[in-house]
Every structure is written in structure tokens, then in C-alpha cells.
């Protein structure tokens, strides 16, 4: 029964590692160094140079990729209700999931740990060197396969989403949103190819050194079929969309020219001059002033109580017809109403002495 259990565990691990780039439950082996003869040891200086060169070339694009993937996540969260269920938006969601998978793999951390376990230098007079085990080296190679596979997944999702949103733009749907999404997808597509090719170069340089790493005393051979070399991603790949009928753009194709000269189908006829229409003669008239200014004399109009009453009644009628043509057009309606009521109260109270101060 124990033998069957061990066989099942080894077989389960082997089946899971057949698809290495998509392996989630990959257990990390313990970091162990084994002393081996310096003649059989791998080239330590070359290993350190390869890893350090990868760090120098990888860091700038990695920052841009993180910013672009974060922007894609924010756009996906904002437009989730608008584009939910659309095929292109599903591809955007898958692309965002793949970028999150890169954070879970964390290839940079694994390379730093492996680089730290290597000896700082190798003396020619030294007989032995402390080298990490082959299981540790295989784990780094598998993580490189994981990263390359995720970058390929991101590129596939970017192409699917870009094809869908490009069709929407051709139909003039959501122009601003589709333009921003296409820009972010193009950025991720380009950076995935650049970063993926750097991972491919690192894998192709490390893979021939695998057999030179020692096996631990209790190491288990999982019979991993690691590829000898990885193919690079094509950086300059253009998305081809079906062109609309009877539309030729300058960027798509050259302008078509007809070899034969065009001939008139109908015979030309001379135009007949029509008689001039009699529209009359222009007459110059003096402009009529719409608002005639009225003369106002306060001494005569507001001299007595009777003249003041007649002025108030005439001014009320004028203000009802047209406020602009009245004498008191600069006085607001509530101010005019308050002044007339105050005058009426003072007249009723026989207070004729102070009505001039109204």
C-alpha cells in the first residue's frame, strides 16, 4: 500500500508537470548547496553574468508593464457593467487574470534567491565548490517556462480583445473607450514580446548547464521533459481585419488608377440663360424709432396732490403696456408699488406736507 501511494504521488506530480507553464501548485524544493569537484561544476562566472544581465535589461520594461497592466485593471473595473458579456471584454478579463498570474510566479524573486545561492567566485586552486542542487535549478527553469507561457497567453488575449474593439471602432461605437483600451492592449502586447524574448534568451542560455548541477542525496527524479530551446515571440505582428467593400485607404493599399481615359456618357448641352426676375427697386426709408423719449418735469407733474395722482395713474397704464417706454423704466416693479402705496397712505392720513420727500 505504501508503494502504491508513493507511485500515485509521483505519477500525479509528473502529470501535473507535463503542462509546466500552467502549473499552479508547484512546490518549491528546499534551497540546498552540495559540494562538488570544481572540474565537474558549471561555470559560475557565466551563470552570474547571465542572471545579472537579465536583471539589467529586464527592470525598465518591467516597470512599464506593471503600469500598463494596472491601467488595464482599472479600465476593466470601470467598464465592467457596460461591456459585461461581450467577447472582447471577456478577453480583457482573461488578460488581466494573466497579468495577475505573473505577480504570483514572481520570477525576479526566484532568480535573486538562486543567484544568492551561487558562490561569489571560483578559485582555480579550489578543489570543490558549493553549488545548488539540480532540483533548485529545475525549479528556476520551470518558472521561466511559466513566465514565457503567461506572456504568450497575454498576447493571445490582447489580439482577441483588439480585434473586437477594432470592429466596434469601425462602426463608430464607443470611440473614446475603445481607443484607450486599444492603446493599453497594444502596450501590453509589445512589452509582452520584449519581456518574453528576454526570458527565452535566459532559458536558452541556462538549459545546457542543467546536467552539470549535482543531485541531492534525497532528491527525487520527476522525469521532467524540459525543452532544449524556446522559440522567440514575433515582435512585429500586425492585426489583419477584413476591409470594407469599396473603401481604399492610403495606409492599406495604393490608390487605384484607371489606365483608360474617362469619356462622357451624355452629350453636352449649352445652358439656356433665364430671364432676370423683377424683384422691384430698393427704397431707402428713414429708420423708425421704436422708443420715443417722453419729457418729464418734476415741478409740474408732481407739484400738487392731484397732478401726482394723474401721473401715477398714467404711469401705471404705461408700465402695463411697455415698461421700456415708460418714464419710470429704471425703477423696479416692487419699488414702484411701494412708493405708490406710501403715497396713498399719506394722502389718506392728510399728511400733505411731506409728500415731496417720497
pLDDT at 272: 81
Task: Report pLDDT for 13.
Answer: 44
Confidence check: pLDDT of 242 > 60: no
The confidence score (pLDDT) of residue 189 equals 92
SS3 123: coil
Q: Which residues, in sequence order, are CB contacts of 101 under 8 Å at separation 6+?
A: 150
What is the model's pLDDT at position 9? 41
**241 pLDDT more than 70:** no
Contacts of 291 (CB under 8 A, 6+ apart): 324, 325
Residue 252 pLDDT greater than 60, yes or no: no
Worst-scoring range by mean pLDDT, 37-51, 125-139, 258-272? 258-272
pLDDT score, position 219: 61
Q: Phi first, then psi: what are they for 107, rounded to 5°? A: -65, -35
The strand pairing partners of 128, in sequence order, are 37
More confident position, 125 or 306: 306
Phi, psi of 35 (to 5 degrees): -75, 130
Is-contact 348 356, C-beta < 8 A?
Answer: no
Tally of CB atoms within 10 A around 122: 16
Q: How much is the pLDDT for 341? A: 87
Q: How far apart are CA 21 and CA 210, in angstroms?
A: 18
What is the predicted pLDDT for the residue at 334? Answer: 86
Comparing CA positions, the residue from 72, 104, 321, 66 lying closest to residue 183 is: 72
Helix and strand numbers (H, E) in the chain are 9, 2
The CA-based angle 71-75-78, given to 5 degrees, is 140
Q: What is the pTM of this model?
A: 0.59
Q: How confident is the model at residue 246 (pLDDT cuts 50, 70, 90)?
A: very low
**Set of cell numbers at residue 188:** 501590453
Which range scores top for mean pLDDT: 73-77, 154-158, 165-169, 275-279? Answer: 154-158
Domain chopping of the chain, boundaries: 16-212, 298-357
Q: In this predicted structure, what is the pLDDT of residue 18? A: 45
| Predicted local distance difference test score (pLDDT) of residue 34 | 82
Residue 138, pLDDT > 70, answer: yes
| 16 pLDDT higher than 60 | no
Q: Which of 130-134, 193-197, 254-258 has the lowest mean pLDDT?
A: 254-258
pLDDT in the model for residue 140: 87
Residues in Cβ contact with 156 at an 8 Å cutoff, skipping those fewer than 6 apart: none
The pLDDT of residue 234 is: 79
In a 3-state reduction of DSSP, which class is residue 33?
strand
The string of pLDDT tens digits covering residues 28-86 is: 788 888 887 777 777 788 888 888 888 888 888 888 988 988 988 888 777 666 666 67
Mean pLDDT of the chain: 76
Least confident window among 95-99, 149-153, 189-193, 283-287: 283-287
Tens digits of residue pLDDT in 291-339: 555 677 777 777 788 888 888 888 888 888 888 878 888 888 888 888 8
Q: What is the pLDDT of residue 14?
A: 38
Contact call for residues 196 and 148 (beta carbons, < 8 A): yes
CA distance 256 to 235: 31
Residue in the structure block whose three cell numbers are 396732490 = 305
Q: How confident is the model at residue 255 (pLDDT cuts 50, 70, 90)?
A: very low
In this prediction, residue 8 has a pLDDT band, given cuts at 50, 70 and 90, of very low
| Whether residue 342 has pLDDT greater than 70 | yes
Considering only residues 345 and 83, tell me which one the structure prediction assigns the higher pLDDT.
Answer: 345
User: What angle is formed at CA 89 by the lines to CA 86 and CA 93, rounded to 5 degrees?
Assistant: 135
Mean pLDDT of 245-270: 56
- Give burial (CB, 10 Å; 0-12/13-18/19+) of 291: exposed
Q: How far apart are CA 154 and CA 279, in angstroms?
A: 74
Does position 257 have pLDDT exceeding 70, yes or no? no
Is 36 strand, coil or helix? strand
Amino acid at each position: 500500500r505504501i508503494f502504491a501511494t508513493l507511485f500515485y504521488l509521483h505519477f500525479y506530480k509528473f502529470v501535473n508537470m507535463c503542462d509546466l507553464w500552467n502549473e499552479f501548485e508547484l512546490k518549491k524544493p528546499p534551497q540546498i548547496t552540495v559540494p562538488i569537484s570544481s572540474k565537474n561544476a558549471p561555470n559560475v562566472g557565466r551563470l552570474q553574468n547571465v542572471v545579472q544581465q537579465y536583471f539589467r535589461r529586464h527592470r525598465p520594461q518591467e516597470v512599464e508593464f506593471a503600469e500598463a497592466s494596472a491601467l488595464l485593471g482599472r479600465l476593466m473595473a470601470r467598464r465592467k457593467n457596460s461591456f459585461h458579456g461581450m467577447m472582447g471584454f471577456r478577453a480583457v478579463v482573461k488578460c488581466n487574470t494573466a497579468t495577475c498570474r505573473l505577480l504570483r510566479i514572481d520570477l525576479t524573486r526566484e532568480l535573486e534567491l538562486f543567484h544568492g545561492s551561487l558562490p561569489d567566485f571560483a578559485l582555480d586552486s579550489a578543489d570543490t565548490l558549493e553549488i545548488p542542487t539540480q532540483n533548485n535549478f529545475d525549479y528556476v527553469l520551470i518558472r521561466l517556462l511559466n513566465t514565457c507561457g503567461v506572456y504568450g497567453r497575454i498576447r493571445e488575449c490582447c489580439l482577441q480583445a483588439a480585434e473586437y474593439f477594432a470592429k466596434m471602432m469601425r462602426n463608430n461605437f464607443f470611440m473614446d473607450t475603445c481607443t484607450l483600451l486599444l492603446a493599453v492592449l497594444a502596450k501590453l502586447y509589445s512589452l509582452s514580446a520584449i519581456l518574453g524574448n528576454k526570458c527565452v534568451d535566459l532559458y536558452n542560455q541556462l538549459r545546457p548547464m542543467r546536467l552539470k548541477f549535482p543531485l541531492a542525496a534525497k532528491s527525487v527524479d520527476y522525469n521532467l521533459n524540459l525543452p532544449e530551446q524556446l522559440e522567440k515571440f514575433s515582435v512585429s505582428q500586425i492585426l489583419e481585419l477584413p476591409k470594407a467593400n469599396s473603401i481604399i485607404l492610403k495606409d492599406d493599399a495604393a490608390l487605384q488608377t484607371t489606365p483608360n481615359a474617362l469619356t462622357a456618357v451624355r452629350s453636352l448641352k449649352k445652358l439656356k440663360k433665364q430671364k432676370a426676375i423683377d424683384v422691384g427697386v430698393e427704397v431707402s426709408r428713414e429708420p423708425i424709432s421704436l422708443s420715443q423719449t417722453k419729457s418729464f418735469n418734476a415741478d409740474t407733474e408732481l407739484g400738487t396732490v392731484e397732478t401726482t395722482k394723474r401721473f401715477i395713474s398714467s404711469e401705471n397704464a404705461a408700465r402695463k403696456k411697455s415698461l421700456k417706454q415708460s418714464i419710470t423704466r429704471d425703477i423696479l416693479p416692487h419699488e414702484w408699488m411701494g412708493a405708490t402705496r406710501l403715497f396713498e397712505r399719506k394722502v389718506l392720513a392728510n399728511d400733505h406736507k411731506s409728500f415731496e420727500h417720497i
